[in-house]
Every structure is written in C-alpha cells, then in structure tokens.
Amino acid sequence: MAEIARLTGHREWIDLDFVERERTPESAMALGIQSHVAGLSLSNTVDLLDSLGVQRSRKAVHDWVQKADLQPESG
C-alpha cells in the first residue's frame, strides 16, 4: 500500500534543483523518479515515459534518481 501512496501523492518531495538543462519536462522527470522510487523497474519506468512521448534511457532515469538523492525502497 505504501507504494501506491508514493505513486499517487504529490511530488513536492522530489527536489529537482539538480536539473541543469531543460531536455525533459520537469513533470515527466518527477513522474519517472516517483515511479522508480515507488518500485517500478527502470525498464518499466522508461516504457511509462515513452507512452507519454518522452524517450529517455534507463541510464537517464537512474541518473535522475541518483541526483535527486533518492533510492527505491528495498524489498
């Protein structure tokens, strides 16, 4: 149930101050970070973003999560 709350809640807890260039809309970046942190795999997160018309690699999503200083929940 905690995963669902992390997916549906507000995204204010995601700090995007690390963004240096605007290649990806911040809303898509926040969704990608939120989805992966909530437990979606990198591949599935990339597929989700792709369905929204945002094409990014697994490495890009991984880097967003690292730069935002967030980690997916274990288990």
Residue-number span of the structural domain to which 29 is assigned? 23-69
pTM listed for this prediction: 0.69
pLDDT over 70 percentage in the chain: 63
What is the spatial distance between Cα 44 and Cα 36, in angstroms, rounded to a whole number?
A: 9
Closest CA to 6 of 45, 33, 46, 44: 33
pLDDT at 72: 57
Mean pLDDT on 4-14: 51
CA quadruple 54, 55, 57, 58: dihedral positive or negative?
Answer: positive
In a domain, 15, yes or no: no
Q: Which amino acid is at 35?
A: S
In a domain, 75, yes or no: no
Give the side-chain half-sphere CA count within 13 A for 62.
6
Q: Over the stretch 54-68, which tens digit does the pLDDT of each residue have?
A: 999 999 999 888 888
In a domain, 48, yes or no: yes
The structural domain count of the chain equals 1
